Amino acid sequence: MPITRQLIAAQAPKTQGDWFSVSGTVADADDGQGMPTWQFRISILPTRENALKALNALATLEQFQSTQHPEFKVFLPDDNNDLSSWDPTFRGGDRDQRGKEICVYMEQVLGRNKPEYYEGNYPSPDYLKSLMLSMWKGLQDAGVELAYSIPSEGEKEVLCDSGLITPFCYSSFKPYQQRHGILHQVENYNPKEYQDPLEGVSISLEDLQEYNIHPIGAVKSAQRLIYHLNHYQLKKLEAEQELQALLQSAEKEEDISDTQFTDYGEVITALDNVLEMPIEGEEEALTERLREYINLVKAKEVSIALPSQSTLPGKLFSKDLRLLQALADLEDKSEKNIRARLFSAFPQEVQHAIVSAEGGRETFYALCIKHLFQNISQSLENEKKLSVDEMMKLNIDIDRKSCEKAFTYYPQKFQQIYQKLVHCEHEKQMILKEHERFDLLPKPPNNSPYYSEITSKIEGTLAQARAILNDYTRDNSWLSRVAHGNWNRHHLEEVNEIVKAIDNRTISSMEELSTHLAAIPLANPKGSLARRMEFILLPYAQSLQYPESKKDDEVFHPV
C-alpha cells in the first residue's frame, strides 16, 4: 500500500521500540507464492527523532507513493531511545541489529502474478538500484544521519566507486533454528545460495552526481572507527567484568536477587528431588513430585530457557514435558499400558536404559520417570560441556573448572555473557575490515597551515578541536564573521552548541565529539566545516590503537 504522512501520524506514536511496517505488492498478491528471501538494509542512527525524520522522507518518494512497491519497515526506538534489544552487547542475544534500521524486502515470486517492477523471480536490478539512490537522496535531503555503523558480519555491502561508503548492505534470510540462533551465521551473506537479486549492482560516482548525492568518504569511515572502537573496548571490558563477577559469585555460592536465577534454582531443586527420591513402591508420592516438577517448569518456562536454545524447538527442560504429563495422567500405570500408549514416544536412549534396568525392585512406571529425569539431567551436563567449550574457545584467561562451576551456578547468565563476548569478537573483525578500508580511502593532505597555526600552542586533541570549531564561528560573533567575509557559513548554531558543550564538559572526549559532528548534515561537503572535520577526525582515527588481527590458527571459531 502507498505510505502517507497521515498513516505515519496515526501509527508512529503507537510504535515504540518496534518496527513501523508498510506492506508491499507481493504481500498482497493472490498467488500465495511470495517468499521473503532477501532484504537490503539502510544504516541510520537509531534515535527516534532520526527514524521519524527518515520515515517522513520515505513517504515523499515516488516509488513508495505507488501501489506497486516492495514491503519495507523502519525501526522506531521508543521515546527514551532504549536500544538494549537492538545492541546485543547490552543483554546478550543472537543477532546484532545495528546498521539495519531500515529494511526493504526483495521477495522471490515464482507465480505469474508479479509486480511490474519484477524481472524474473525478483525485483529487477535497475529498479532496485534506482530505489536505493532515491532513498539515499531523500534521506540525505531530510538531514537523516546515515551510515553510522559498519555493516555487521554476515552482511554484504553495496559497493561504490573508489571504495567510498554507501549506507546499504544486504543478505538473504538465514535459518534461525540453530544453537544460539544466527549468532554464528556470520561468514556468508547467502548461506542457502539463493539467486542474488543485487549481484553485479554497484553505485558509481556518476550515479551520485546524477542524483545530487554527497559522497561518503574518509570522514565517515573515521567516525565509524571511532564509534565502533570505543563501543568495542567498553562493551568487551563490561562483559569480561561481568564474567569475573559471575565466577566469584559461583565460587562463593552467593544468592542473587534475580528472578531468572531464583526460578532456575527452584526447577533444579525439583529435578533433584525426583532423582534422589527412593522410588521403590512409592508410586503416589512419586507422582506428586512429578506433578510438582511439571507445574513448576510450565510456570517458569520462559525464565529458565537457555539463551543457546532460544530458537530451537526442543528446550532442555520442556522437551519431555508432554511425556511426563502423560505419565502422570495415566490412571492405569501398569507396564502393559505404558508400553501400549507411551513407550514408543520415549527418546531411544531412554528406552534402551529402561530395558537394560528392568528386573529390579522398581515398578516400570518408576523406571520410566527415573530415566526420563536422568535424561534431562544428562542433557544439562551435555549443555554444560558444550557451553564451557564455547567459552574456552574465546581464549578467555580462566580455567575450565571455574567455567563449569559458573555454568552450574547460573547457566542463563553464563550464556548471555558468552553471547556478548562473541558479539565483541564480531565487532572487532568489523573494525579491522573498516580500518583496512580507511587506510585505502583518498584523503586530503592534512597540511593546512592556518589550522596548524590555530592549534600549535594548544595541548590535547579535544582542546585543539574546540579551537578549530570556535574559529569556524568566529567566537560566535556575527561582526567578526562579517569582518572576515564569513557571514554565510552553514550550521553555525550546531557548531556553537558543540563548542559550549566542550566548555561545560558535556562533551568530554573525542568519541563524544565525533558523535556530535556526525549529526550535522553538511550542506556543503567540500566547505570550510567539512575541511575542519577532516583536520580534526582523520588524524585522530589514524592515531587510535586498533585490536590486533589474530593469526589463522588463533581466529575464533565457534564449536
Co-location of 210 and 302 in the same domain = no
Please count the CA atoms within 13 angstroms of the CA of 183 that sit on its side-chain side. 29
What would the mean pLDDT of 177-192 be, rounded to a whole number?
A: 88
DSSP annotation of 212 reads T
Co-location of 36 and 158 in the same domain = yes
Co-location of 267 and 197 in the same domain = no
Co-location of 39 and 144 in the same domain = yes
Choose among 192, 72, 204: nearest CA to 139.
72
Choose among 181, 205, 159: nearest CA to 40.
159
What would the mean pLDDT of 265-271 be, rounded to a whole number?
A: 94
Taking each helix axis as running N to C, give the angle between helix 461-472 and helix 528-543, from 0 to 180 degrees, rounded to the nearest 10: 170
Identify whether 344 is part of a domain.
Answer: yes
DSSP annotation of 549 reads P
Give the per-residue pLDDT at 480: 85
Amino acid present at 441: L
- SS3 for 462-502, per residue? HHHHHHHHHHHCCCCCHHHHHHCCCCCCCCHHHHHHHHHHH
Identify whether 222 is part of a domain.
Answer: no
Co-location of 147 and 268 in the same domain = no
Give the per-residue pLDDT at 555: 43
Co-location of 153 and 76 in the same domain = yes
Co-location of 187 and 128 in the same domain = yes
Identify whether 230 is part of a domain.
Answer: no
Co-location of 201 and 299 in the same domain = no
User: Does 361 score more than 80 pLDDT?
Assistant: no
CA distances to 158, 159, 278 from 164, in Å: 10, 8, 71
Distance, CA of 543 to CA of 536 (rounded, Å): 12
Identify whether 494 is part of a domain.
Answer: yes
- pTM for this model (two decimals): 0.90
Distance, CA of 510 to CA of 308 (rounded, Å): 37
Co-location of 285 and 366 in the same domain = yes
Identify whether 57 is part of a domain.
Answer: yes
What would the mean pLDDT of 24-37 be, rounded to a whole number?
A: 58
Identify whether 422 is part of a domain.
Answer: no
Give the per-residue pLDDT at 431: 97
Co-location of 533 and 480 in the same domain = yes
Co-location of 33 and 152 in the same domain = yes
> For residue range 474-502, what is the model confidence (pLDDT) as tens digits?
998 888 878 877 777 889 999 999 999 99
The answer to whether 463 and 450 are in contact (CB under 8 A) is no
Identify whether 435 is part of a domain.
Answer: no
Count up the domains in the chain and report the number: 3
Say how far residue 24 (Cα) sits from the centre of its chain.
25
User: Does 296 score more than 90 pLDDT?
Assistant: yes
Co-location of 43 and 162 in the same domain = yes
Confidence band (pLDDT; 50, 70, 90) for 31? Answer: very low
User: Does 520 score more than 90 pLDDT?
Assistant: yes
> For residue range 299-348, what is the model confidence (pLDDT) as tens digits?
999 999 999 998 888 788 888 899 999 999 999 999 999 999 999 999 99
Identify whether 386 is part of a domain.
Answer: yes
Give the per-residue pLDDT at 175: 80
> For residue range 34-61, what is the model confidence (pLDDT) as tens digits?
466 899 999 999 999 999 999 999 999 9
Instruction: Name the average pLDDT for the chain.
Output: 91
Q: Which residue has the higher pLDDT, 162 or 420?
A: 420
Give the per-residue pLDDT at 384: 97
> For residue range 194-226, what is the model confidence (pLDDT) as tens digits?
999 999 999 999 999 999 999 999 999 999 999
The CATH number of whichever domain residue 130 belongs to comes to: 3.30.2430
Give the per-residue pLDDT at 318: 84
Domain of residue 73: give its range.
5-216
Lowest mean pLDDT among 178-182, 461-465, 484-488: 484-488
Distance, CA of 136 to CA of 214 (rounded, Å): 10
Amino acid present at 446: N
